[in-house]
Chain A
Amino acid sequence: MTAVRRTVLVGASTLLLVVSLVTPASGSELNDVLAEASYATYTASRLVVSVWGGQTQVSREFVERANGMEMVRRDAGWSMAGNGRAVSMGEEPKGVAFVTHQRGVDSTRYTVIERGKALHMSRPCQIVEVMEGGIVRASFIVDDRSGAILVAEIYDGSGDLFRRTTLSDFRAYRTYEAPTGGSGIPLEVVMPEAANSLPDSLAGYQLVGTFSAPGGSEQGFYADGLFSFSLFVLDGRTVVSGFEEPGLLITGTGVYDLVPTAQAVRLRWQDGSNHFVLVGNLPPDHLTDVLGELPTPEVRGMWARWWQRLFG
Protein backbone atom coordinates (compact mmCIF):
# COMPACT_ATOMS: atom_id res chain seq x y z
CA MET A 1 0.00 0.00 0.00
CA THR A 2 2.83 2.38 0.92
CA ALA A 3 4.60 1.57 -2.34
CA VAL A 4 1.43 2.24 -4.31
CA ARG A 5 0.93 5.59 -2.51
CA ARG A 6 4.56 6.52 -3.18
CA THR A 7 4.15 5.68 -6.85
CA VAL A 8 0.99 7.76 -7.05
CA LEU A 9 2.69 10.69 -5.28
CA VAL A 10 5.75 10.54 -7.53
CA GLY A 11 3.52 10.31 -10.62
CA ALA A 12 1.39 13.25 -9.53
CA SER A 13 4.46 15.35 -8.74
CA THR A 14 5.98 14.56 -12.13
CA LEU A 15 2.74 15.48 -13.84
CA LEU A 16 2.56 18.76 -11.92
CA LEU A 17 6.16 19.54 -12.83
CA VAL A 18 5.54 18.86 -16.50
CA VAL A 19 2.37 20.95 -16.44
CA SER A 20 4.19 23.82 -14.73
CA LEU A 21 7.10 23.69 -17.18
CA VAL A 22 4.97 23.41 -20.32
CA THR A 23 2.34 26.11 -20.06
CA PRO A 24 -0.03 26.43 -22.96
CA ALA A 25 -1.23 29.94 -23.60
CA SER A 26 -3.92 31.42 -25.77
CA GLY A 27 -3.52 32.87 -29.23
CA SER A 28 -3.59 36.38 -27.80
CA GLU A 29 -0.23 35.63 -26.19
CA LEU A 30 1.21 35.08 -29.65
CA ASN A 31 0.24 38.67 -30.40
CA ASP A 32 1.99 39.74 -27.19
CA VAL A 33 5.18 37.90 -28.12
CA LEU A 34 5.22 39.34 -31.64
CA ALA A 35 4.25 42.86 -30.52
CA GLU A 36 6.98 42.91 -27.89
CA ALA A 37 9.48 41.67 -30.47
CA SER A 38 8.44 44.34 -32.96
CA TYR A 39 9.08 47.08 -30.39
CA ALA A 40 12.41 45.67 -29.17
CA THR A 41 15.32 48.06 -29.55
CA TYR A 42 18.53 46.49 -30.78
CA THR A 43 21.22 46.21 -33.42
CA ALA A 44 22.27 42.83 -34.79
CA SER A 45 23.47 40.85 -37.76
CA ARG A 46 20.62 38.79 -39.14
CA LEU A 47 21.00 35.58 -41.07
CA VAL A 48 17.91 34.18 -42.79
CA VAL A 49 17.99 30.78 -44.46
CA SER A 50 14.96 29.25 -46.13
CA VAL A 51 14.28 26.38 -48.49
CA TRP A 52 11.94 26.70 -51.47
CA GLY A 53 11.52 23.94 -54.01
CA GLY A 54 14.70 22.24 -52.82
CA GLN A 55 16.73 25.42 -53.28
CA THR A 56 18.24 27.26 -50.33
CA GLN A 57 17.87 31.03 -50.12
CA VAL A 58 20.25 32.89 -47.82
CA SER A 59 20.23 36.50 -46.70
CA ARG A 60 22.73 38.19 -44.39
CA GLU A 61 22.08 41.74 -43.28
CA PHE A 62 22.73 44.25 -40.53
CA VAL A 63 19.65 45.40 -38.67
CA GLU A 64 18.93 48.44 -36.50
CA ARG A 65 15.56 48.37 -34.80
CA ALA A 66 13.96 51.08 -32.65
CA ASN A 67 10.45 52.43 -32.08
CA GLY A 68 8.97 49.88 -34.45
CA MET A 69 11.21 51.01 -37.31
CA GLU A 70 13.78 48.68 -38.80
CA MET A 71 16.69 49.72 -40.95
CA VAL A 72 18.32 46.92 -42.90
CA ARG A 73 21.74 47.31 -44.48
CA ARG A 74 22.64 44.74 -47.08
CA ASP A 75 25.75 44.93 -49.28
CA ALA A 76 25.97 48.57 -50.37
CA GLY A 77 22.28 49.39 -50.08
CA TRP A 78 19.77 49.81 -47.34
CA SER A 79 16.07 49.73 -46.80
CA MET A 80 13.83 50.76 -43.98
CA ALA A 81 10.40 49.64 -42.85
CA GLY A 82 8.10 50.16 -39.94
CA ASN A 83 4.79 51.64 -38.85
CA GLY A 84 3.34 51.30 -42.32
CA ARG A 85 6.21 52.85 -44.17
CA ALA A 86 8.88 51.30 -46.38
CA VAL A 87 11.76 53.06 -48.08
CA SER A 88 14.28 51.40 -50.33
CA MET A 89 17.49 52.72 -51.80
CA GLY A 90 17.90 51.04 -55.14
CA GLU A 91 18.80 52.58 -58.47
CA GLU A 92 15.93 54.93 -57.85
CA PRO A 93 15.20 55.64 -54.16
CA LYS A 94 11.51 55.33 -53.46
CA GLY A 95 9.15 54.87 -50.59
CA VAL A 96 5.58 54.00 -49.79
CA ALA A 97 3.49 54.89 -46.75
CA PHE A 98 0.16 53.34 -45.82
CA VAL A 99 -2.37 55.44 -43.99
CA THR A 100 -4.46 52.85 -42.25
CA HIS A 101 -5.51 51.33 -38.99
CA GLN A 102 -4.80 47.64 -38.89
CA ARG A 103 -7.66 45.59 -37.59
CA GLY A 104 -6.97 43.01 -34.93
CA VAL A 105 -6.22 39.61 -36.44
CA ASP A 106 -7.73 36.47 -35.00
CA SER A 107 -4.75 34.24 -34.24
CA THR A 108 -6.70 31.52 -32.45
CA ARG A 109 -5.41 28.82 -34.76
CA TYR A 110 -2.10 29.10 -32.93
CA THR A 111 -1.28 28.17 -29.35
CA VAL A 112 1.81 29.39 -27.57
CA ILE A 113 3.67 26.99 -25.26
CA GLU A 114 6.50 28.19 -23.05
CA ARG A 115 9.12 25.48 -23.03
CA GLY A 116 11.27 27.00 -20.31
CA LYS A 117 14.29 29.16 -19.79
CA ALA A 118 17.62 28.92 -21.57
CA LEU A 119 20.82 30.84 -22.07
CA HIS A 120 21.48 31.93 -25.63
CA MET A 121 24.58 33.99 -26.44
CA SER A 122 24.95 34.32 -22.63
CA ARG A 123 21.58 36.03 -22.47
CA PRO A 124 18.69 34.72 -20.42
CA CYS A 125 15.95 33.68 -22.82
CA GLN A 126 12.58 32.03 -23.01
CA ILE A 127 11.96 29.18 -25.41
CA VAL A 128 8.53 29.43 -26.97
CA GLU A 129 6.80 27.06 -29.35
CA VAL A 130 3.87 28.02 -31.51
CA MET A 131 1.54 25.11 -32.11
CA GLU A 132 -0.93 24.88 -34.94
CA GLY A 133 -3.23 22.09 -33.89
CA GLY A 134 -1.00 19.15 -33.15
CA ILE A 135 2.07 20.33 -35.07
CA VAL A 136 4.83 22.70 -34.09
CA ARG A 137 4.61 25.59 -36.55
CA ALA A 138 7.34 27.79 -35.05
CA SER A 139 9.92 27.82 -32.32
CA PHE A 140 11.29 31.06 -30.87
CA ILE A 141 14.14 31.90 -28.56
CA VAL A 142 13.03 35.19 -27.02
CA ASP A 143 15.44 37.49 -25.23
CA ASP A 144 14.13 38.15 -21.71
CA ARG A 145 15.34 41.73 -21.42
CA SER A 146 14.48 43.15 -24.83
CA GLY A 147 11.74 40.82 -26.06
CA ALA A 148 13.61 40.36 -29.34
CA ILE A 149 13.32 36.99 -31.07
CA LEU A 150 16.93 35.88 -31.31
CA VAL A 151 16.19 32.65 -33.18
CA ALA A 152 13.03 31.87 -35.12
CA GLU A 153 12.49 28.49 -36.73
CA ILE A 154 9.49 27.98 -38.96
CA TYR A 155 8.35 24.49 -39.89
CA ASP A 156 6.24 23.31 -42.79
CA GLY A 157 3.19 21.08 -42.47
CA SER A 158 5.27 17.90 -42.31
CA GLY A 159 7.40 19.22 -39.46
CA ASP A 160 10.49 19.96 -41.55
CA LEU A 161 12.42 23.15 -40.91
CA PHE A 162 11.54 25.61 -43.64
CA ARG A 163 13.02 28.93 -42.51
CA ARG A 164 15.52 29.84 -39.80
CA THR A 165 16.25 33.41 -38.74
CA THR A 166 19.18 34.05 -36.41
CA LEU A 167 20.38 37.26 -34.81
CA SER A 168 24.06 37.47 -33.91
CA ASP A 169 26.29 40.31 -32.67
CA PHE A 170 23.15 41.25 -30.79
CA ARG A 171 23.08 44.44 -28.70
CA ALA A 172 19.93 45.57 -26.95
CA TYR A 173 19.42 49.18 -25.96
CA ARG A 174 17.15 50.97 -23.54
CA THR A 175 17.28 54.10 -25.66
CA TYR A 176 18.42 54.21 -29.25
CA GLU A 177 17.79 56.89 -31.82
CA ALA A 178 15.28 55.51 -34.29
CA PRO A 179 16.63 55.03 -37.82
CA THR A 180 15.76 58.16 -39.78
CA GLY A 181 17.34 57.51 -43.16
CA GLY A 182 15.41 58.37 -46.25
CA SER A 183 13.61 61.36 -44.80
CA GLY A 184 14.04 63.21 -48.09
CA ILE A 185 12.80 60.41 -50.33
CA PRO A 186 9.38 61.08 -51.83
CA LEU A 187 6.75 58.71 -50.49
CA GLU A 188 3.75 57.34 -52.31
CA VAL A 189 0.88 57.61 -49.86
CA VAL A 190 -1.61 54.74 -50.03
CA MET A 191 -5.11 54.95 -48.59
CA PRO A 192 -7.34 51.98 -47.76
CA GLU A 193 -10.11 51.17 -50.21
CA ALA A 194 -13.17 48.99 -50.23
CA ALA A 195 -12.50 45.43 -51.35
CA ASN A 196 -13.45 44.98 -54.96
CA SER A 197 -12.72 41.41 -55.90
CA LEU A 198 -10.95 39.91 -52.91
CA PRO A 199 -12.44 37.29 -50.57
CA ASP A 200 -12.72 38.03 -46.84
CA SER A 201 -10.63 35.02 -45.94
CA LEU A 202 -8.35 32.54 -47.65
CA ALA A 203 -7.39 29.22 -46.05
CA GLY A 204 -7.46 30.64 -42.52
CA TYR A 205 -5.96 34.01 -43.47
CA GLN A 206 -8.16 37.04 -42.91
CA LEU A 207 -8.37 40.02 -45.22
CA VAL A 208 -6.97 42.82 -43.04
CA GLY A 209 -6.92 45.63 -45.57
CA THR A 210 -7.46 46.44 -49.23
CA PHE A 211 -5.49 49.09 -51.09
CA SER A 212 -5.01 50.40 -54.57
CA ALA A 213 -1.80 49.39 -56.28
CA PRO A 214 -0.01 50.67 -59.40
CA GLY A 215 -1.73 50.37 -62.75
CA GLY A 216 -5.24 50.35 -61.32
CA SER A 217 -4.61 47.07 -59.55
CA GLU A 218 -5.76 45.98 -56.14
CA GLN A 219 -3.75 44.81 -53.13
CA GLY A 220 -5.28 42.64 -50.44
CA PHE A 221 -3.31 42.18 -47.24
CA TYR A 222 -4.03 38.88 -45.47
CA ALA A 223 -2.75 37.70 -42.08
CA ASP A 224 -3.35 34.90 -39.63
CA GLY A 225 -1.53 36.30 -36.60
CA LEU A 226 1.80 34.67 -37.39
CA PHE A 227 2.24 34.87 -41.16
CA SER A 228 0.98 37.31 -43.75
CA PHE A 229 0.84 37.79 -47.49
CA SER A 230 -0.31 40.36 -50.01
CA LEU A 231 -2.30 39.36 -53.06
CA PHE A 232 -2.09 41.74 -55.99
CA VAL A 233 -4.77 41.51 -58.66
CA LEU A 234 -3.38 43.20 -61.76
CA ASP A 235 -4.78 43.97 -65.13
CA GLY A 236 -3.88 41.27 -67.67
CA ARG A 237 -1.71 43.68 -69.66
CA THR A 238 0.39 44.68 -66.62
CA VAL A 239 4.01 43.63 -66.90
CA VAL A 240 5.67 42.53 -63.67
CA SER A 241 9.44 42.72 -63.90
CA GLY A 242 11.59 40.45 -61.78
CA PHE A 243 10.10 37.24 -63.15
CA GLU A 244 12.32 37.02 -66.22
CA GLU A 245 13.89 33.72 -65.15
CA PRO A 246 11.49 32.24 -62.63
CA GLY A 247 11.51 28.89 -60.95
CA LEU A 248 8.31 26.89 -61.02
CA LEU A 249 6.00 25.94 -58.18
CA ILE A 250 3.83 23.01 -59.13
CA THR A 251 0.81 22.30 -56.98
CA GLY A 252 -2.43 20.43 -57.51
CA THR A 253 -3.99 23.60 -58.90
CA GLY A 254 -1.40 24.46 -61.50
CA VAL A 255 2.04 25.77 -62.31
CA TYR A 256 3.15 29.10 -60.87
CA ASP A 257 6.18 31.31 -61.57
CA LEU A 258 8.26 31.38 -58.39
CA VAL A 259 10.97 33.85 -57.37
CA PRO A 260 11.65 33.30 -53.70
CA THR A 261 13.88 35.25 -51.34
CA ALA A 262 15.11 34.15 -47.93
CA GLN A 263 12.36 36.19 -46.24
CA ALA A 264 9.45 35.83 -48.63
CA VAL A 265 7.90 33.79 -51.38
CA ARG A 266 6.91 35.62 -54.58
CA LEU A 267 4.54 34.01 -57.05
CA ARG A 268 2.96 35.09 -60.31
CA TRP A 269 0.30 33.51 -62.45
CA GLN A 270 -2.43 34.47 -64.88
CA ASP A 271 -5.95 33.15 -65.11
CA GLY A 272 -6.77 34.51 -68.54
CA SER A 273 -7.99 38.00 -67.70
CA ASN A 274 -5.94 38.94 -64.66
CA HIS A 275 -2.42 38.69 -63.40
CA PHE A 276 -1.99 37.61 -59.80
CA VAL A 277 1.08 38.24 -57.71
CA LEU A 278 1.41 36.87 -54.20
CA VAL A 279 4.13 38.07 -51.83
CA GLY A 280 4.40 36.81 -48.27
CA ASN A 281 6.23 34.89 -45.58
CA LEU A 282 3.80 31.98 -45.27
CA PRO A 283 5.06 28.38 -45.19
CA PRO A 284 4.71 26.05 -48.20
CA ASP A 285 1.70 24.07 -46.96
CA HIS A 286 -0.22 27.26 -46.13
CA LEU A 287 0.70 28.61 -49.55
CA THR A 288 -0.70 25.52 -51.26
CA ASP A 289 -3.95 25.87 -49.28
CA VAL A 290 -4.24 29.56 -50.18
CA LEU A 291 -3.60 28.91 -53.87
CA GLY A 292 -6.29 26.24 -53.81
CA GLU A 293 -8.87 28.93 -53.01
CA LEU A 294 -7.73 31.38 -55.68
CA PRO A 295 -8.25 31.44 -59.44
CA THR A 296 -5.99 28.85 -60.97
CA PRO A 297 -3.36 29.45 -63.65
CA GLU A 298 -4.59 29.00 -67.18
CA VAL A 299 -2.99 26.24 -69.18
CA ARG A 300 -1.14 28.09 -71.87
CA GLY A 301 -1.06 26.69 -75.35
CA MET A 302 1.69 26.95 -77.90
CA TRP A 303 0.45 30.29 -79.22
CA ALA A 304 0.33 31.82 -75.71
CA ARG A 305 3.82 30.57 -74.89
CA TRP A 306 5.10 32.02 -78.15
CA TRP A 307 3.43 35.35 -77.41
CA GLN A 308 4.87 35.32 -73.88
CA ARG A 309 8.35 34.67 -75.22
CA LEU A 310 8.09 37.47 -77.77
CA PHE A 311 6.46 40.17 -75.70
CA GLY A 312 6.89 39.16 -72.05
Chain B
Amino acid sequence: MAGVTPVSERLVMLFSCYLDGALSPEELDEVVRALENDEDAIAEFRRMQESRTSVRLLPLLDVPVYLLPGGHLSEQLSAYLDGELATQELPIVTFHLGTCTDCRHEFAELDRSRTAVRALPGLESPEFLDVHREVKKAHRRGLHTAIIVASGAAAVALAFTIGPLSSGPEPTSISINDLQSRHTAIASVPPGGIAVQVTNSP
Protein backbone atom coordinates (compact mmCIF):
# COMPACT_ATOMS: atom_id res chain seq x y z
CA MET B 1 0.00 0.00 0.00
CA ALA B 2 1.36 3.31 -1.00
CA GLY B 3 2.54 5.61 1.84
CA VAL B 4 2.76 2.77 4.36
CA THR B 5 6.13 2.54 6.10
CA PRO B 6 7.44 -0.34 8.14
CA VAL B 7 7.55 1.95 11.18
CA SER B 8 4.33 2.18 13.08
CA GLU B 9 2.48 5.44 13.47
CA ARG B 10 2.87 5.22 17.22
CA LEU B 11 6.63 4.94 16.89
CA VAL B 12 6.72 7.96 14.56
CA MET B 13 4.74 9.90 17.12
CA LEU B 14 7.11 8.77 19.88
CA PHE B 15 10.13 9.87 17.80
CA SER B 16 8.59 13.27 17.38
CA CYS B 17 7.95 13.53 21.10
CA TYR B 18 11.50 12.34 21.78
CA LEU B 19 12.91 15.14 19.61
CA ASP B 20 10.72 17.54 21.52
CA GLY B 21 11.98 16.10 24.84
CA ALA B 22 8.42 15.20 25.88
CA LEU B 23 8.57 11.45 26.54
CA SER B 24 7.71 9.58 29.71
CA PRO B 25 10.34 7.06 31.01
CA GLU B 26 8.28 4.16 29.67
CA GLU B 27 7.94 5.72 26.25
CA LEU B 28 11.65 6.52 26.25
CA ASP B 29 12.45 2.82 26.86
CA GLU B 30 10.24 1.92 23.92
CA VAL B 31 12.03 4.39 21.65
CA VAL B 32 15.49 3.20 22.76
CA ARG B 33 14.56 -0.40 22.12
CA ALA B 34 13.29 0.42 18.65
CA LEU B 35 16.43 2.39 17.79
CA GLU B 36 18.64 -0.51 18.96
CA ASN B 37 17.00 -3.23 16.96
CA ASP B 38 14.98 -1.88 14.05
CA GLU B 39 16.88 -0.49 11.03
CA ASP B 40 13.70 0.98 9.51
CA ALA B 41 13.01 2.76 12.76
CA ILE B 42 16.58 4.14 12.82
CA ALA B 43 16.22 5.39 9.22
CA GLU B 44 12.88 7.02 10.03
CA PHE B 45 14.31 8.64 13.13
CA ARG B 46 17.26 10.08 11.17
CA ARG B 47 14.95 11.42 8.46
CA MET B 48 12.81 13.09 11.06
CA GLN B 49 15.87 14.48 12.84
CA GLU B 50 17.22 16.01 9.58
CA SER B 51 13.83 17.54 8.81
CA ARG B 52 13.68 19.20 12.21
CA THR B 53 17.24 20.52 11.83
CA SER B 54 16.45 21.96 8.39
CA VAL B 55 13.35 23.70 9.68
CA ARG B 56 15.29 25.21 12.57
CA LEU B 57 17.94 26.57 10.20
CA LEU B 58 15.42 28.38 7.97
CA PRO B 59 15.58 32.18 8.25
CA LEU B 60 12.69 33.80 10.03
CA LEU B 61 10.18 35.16 7.58
CA ASP B 62 8.78 38.56 8.51
CA VAL B 63 6.01 39.01 5.98
CA PRO B 64 4.59 42.55 6.03
CA VAL B 65 1.00 42.36 7.13
CA TYR B 66 -0.18 44.44 4.20
CA LEU B 67 1.14 41.80 1.79
CA LEU B 68 -1.12 39.18 3.33
CA PRO B 69 -4.61 38.77 1.89
CA GLY B 70 -6.95 41.17 3.70
CA GLY B 71 -4.04 42.95 5.44
CA HIS B 72 -4.13 46.65 6.21
CA LEU B 73 -1.57 49.40 6.58
CA SER B 74 -2.01 50.69 10.10
CA GLU B 75 1.70 50.78 10.94
CA GLN B 76 2.85 52.03 7.56
CA LEU B 77 0.42 54.96 7.47
CA SER B 78 2.14 56.72 10.32
CA ALA B 79 5.56 56.23 8.74
CA TYR B 80 4.11 57.44 5.44
CA LEU B 81 2.94 60.70 7.02
CA ASP B 82 6.31 61.12 8.74
CA GLY B 83 8.15 60.64 5.46
CA GLU B 84 9.98 57.71 7.01
CA LEU B 85 8.69 54.96 4.78
CA ALA B 86 11.37 52.86 3.10
CA THR B 87 11.71 53.64 -0.59
CA GLN B 88 10.68 50.16 -1.68
CA GLU B 89 7.55 50.28 0.49
CA LEU B 90 6.34 53.60 -0.91
CA PRO B 91 4.78 52.28 -4.16
CA ILE B 92 3.16 49.37 -2.28
CA VAL B 93 1.58 51.70 0.26
CA THR B 94 0.52 54.19 -2.40
CA PHE B 95 -1.10 51.43 -4.43
CA HIS B 96 -2.81 49.98 -1.36
CA LEU B 97 -4.18 53.40 -0.41
CA GLY B 98 -5.62 53.66 -3.89
CA THR B 99 -7.53 50.42 -3.50
CA CYS B 100 -8.41 50.08 0.19
CA THR B 101 -11.21 52.32 1.46
CA ASP B 102 -10.61 51.39 5.11
CA CYS B 103 -6.98 52.45 4.93
CA ARG B 104 -7.87 55.66 3.10
CA HIS B 105 -10.28 56.58 5.90
CA GLU B 106 -7.70 55.70 8.55
CA PHE B 107 -5.08 57.71 6.68
CA ALA B 108 -7.31 60.79 6.49
CA GLU B 109 -8.19 60.48 10.19
CA LEU B 110 -4.52 60.14 11.12
CA ASP B 111 -3.59 63.17 9.02
CA ARG B 112 -6.36 65.24 10.65
CA SER B 113 -5.22 64.22 14.12
CA ARG B 114 -1.64 65.19 13.39
CA THR B 115 -2.63 68.52 11.99
CA ALA B 116 -4.66 69.21 15.12
CA VAL B 117 -1.77 68.21 17.38
CA ARG B 118 0.64 70.42 15.46
CA ALA B 119 -1.73 73.33 15.89
CA LEU B 120 -1.63 72.99 19.69
CA PRO B 121 0.46 75.57 21.56
CA GLY B 122 3.82 74.35 22.84
CA LEU B 123 3.77 73.11 26.42
CA GLU B 124 6.53 73.65 28.93
CA SER B 125 7.17 70.46 30.85
CA PRO B 126 6.50 70.75 34.60
CA GLU B 127 9.59 71.38 36.66
CA PHE B 128 9.18 68.21 38.73
CA LEU B 129 9.44 66.12 35.53
CA ASP B 130 12.73 67.65 34.51
CA VAL B 131 15.32 65.94 36.69
CA HIS B 132 18.16 67.73 34.93
CA ARG B 133 16.83 71.17 35.64
CA GLU B 134 17.76 71.11 39.31
CA VAL B 135 21.28 69.95 38.47
CA LYS B 136 21.66 72.71 35.91
CA LYS B 137 20.31 75.23 38.38
CA ALA B 138 22.89 74.18 40.94
CA HIS B 139 25.69 74.64 38.39
CA ARG B 140 24.44 78.02 37.39
CA ARG B 141 23.81 79.31 40.89
CA GLY B 142 27.46 79.93 41.63
CA LEU B 143 28.02 81.71 38.33
CA HIS B 144 24.92 83.81 38.78
CA THR B 145 26.04 84.93 42.21
CA ALA B 146 29.36 86.11 40.84
CA ILE B 147 27.72 87.95 37.98
CA ILE B 148 25.20 89.60 40.24
CA VAL B 149 27.86 90.79 42.65
CA ALA B 150 30.07 92.06 39.83
CA SER B 151 27.33 93.94 38.06
CA GLY B 152 26.14 95.58 41.31
CA ALA B 153 24.83 99.04 40.82
CA ALA B 154 24.58 98.65 37.03
CA ALA B 155 22.02 95.87 37.49
CA VAL B 156 19.92 98.03 39.77
CA ALA B 157 19.94 100.84 37.25
CA LEU B 158 19.01 98.48 34.44
CA ALA B 159 16.17 96.96 36.43
CA PHE B 160 14.24 100.20 36.18
CA THR B 161 14.39 99.94 32.41
CA ILE B 162 13.96 96.18 32.07
CA GLY B 163 11.10 95.88 34.53
CA PRO B 164 8.31 97.39 32.47
CA LEU B 165 9.55 95.78 29.26
CA SER B 166 10.03 92.27 30.58
CA SER B 167 6.41 92.03 31.63
CA GLY B 168 5.35 92.14 27.96
CA PRO B 169 5.02 89.20 25.58
CA GLU B 170 8.07 87.21 24.57
CA PRO B 171 9.74 88.61 21.45
CA THR B 172 9.33 86.57 18.28
CA SER B 173 12.48 84.86 17.08
CA ILE B 174 13.08 84.25 13.38
CA SER B 175 16.04 82.69 11.64
CA ILE B 176 17.50 84.49 8.63
CA ASN B 177 17.65 81.09 6.92
CA ASP B 178 13.87 80.76 7.30
CA LEU B 179 13.38 84.19 5.78
CA GLN B 180 15.68 83.27 2.90
CA SER B 181 13.74 80.04 2.44
CA ARG B 182 10.54 82.09 2.13
CA HIS B 183 12.18 84.27 -0.49
CA THR B 184 13.47 81.25 -2.39
CA ALA B 185 9.99 79.72 -2.41
CA ILE B 186 8.19 82.77 -3.74
CA ALA B 187 10.99 83.51 -6.21
CA SER B 188 10.56 79.99 -7.63
CA VAL B 189 7.06 80.73 -8.90
CA PRO B 190 7.48 81.24 -12.65
CA PRO B 191 6.18 84.55 -14.05
CA GLY B 192 2.50 84.09 -14.83
CA GLY B 193 2.63 80.76 -13.02
CA ILE B 194 0.74 79.49 -10.03
CA ALA B 195 2.18 77.98 -6.90
CA VAL B 196 -0.20 75.29 -5.81
CA GLN B 197 1.90 72.67 -4.05
CA VAL B 198 0.31 72.85 -0.66
CA THR B 199 -0.29 69.25 0.35
CA ASN B 200 2.15 66.99 2.10
CA SER B 201 0.77 63.93 0.40
CA PRO B 202 2.37 63.02 -2.90
Contact = CB atoms under 8 A, between A and B. Distances in A.
A229 interface: yes
Contact of A266 (B180, B193, B196): B180
A31 interface: yes
A39 B171 CA distance: 41
Interface string A63-74: 000001010000
A249 B111 CA distance: 46
A210 B180 CA distance: 15
Given A84-B197, A184-B200, A102 B190 contact: yes
B171 A240 contact: no
Contacts of B183: 219, 221, 228-230, 264, 279-280
Which range holds the interface residue count of chain A?
Answer: 35 or more
Contacts of A183: 83, 200-202
Interface in A174-219: 180, 182-187, 189-190, 209, 211, 213-217, 219
A172 interface: no
B178 interface: yes
A38 interface: yes
Interface of B: 80-85, 118, 158, 168, 171-198, 200-202
Contacts of B202: 180, 183
Interface stretch (A7-15, A41-49, A85-93, A288-296): A85-93
A81 B197 CA distance: 11
A184 B93 CA distance: 14
Contacts of A240: 173-176, 179
A176 to B, nearest CB: 17
Interface string A105-135: 1000000000000000000000000000000
A214 to B, nearest CB: 5
Nearest to B173: A239
Contacts of A215: 172, 174
A278 to B, nearest CB: 9
Contact of B177 (A228, A235, A242, A268): A242
B191 A97 contact: no
Given A241-B174, A242-B177, A189 B186 contact: no
B199 to A, nearest CB: 8
A98 B118 CA distance: 19
Contact of A102 (B80, B180, B189): B189
Contacts of B83: 182-185
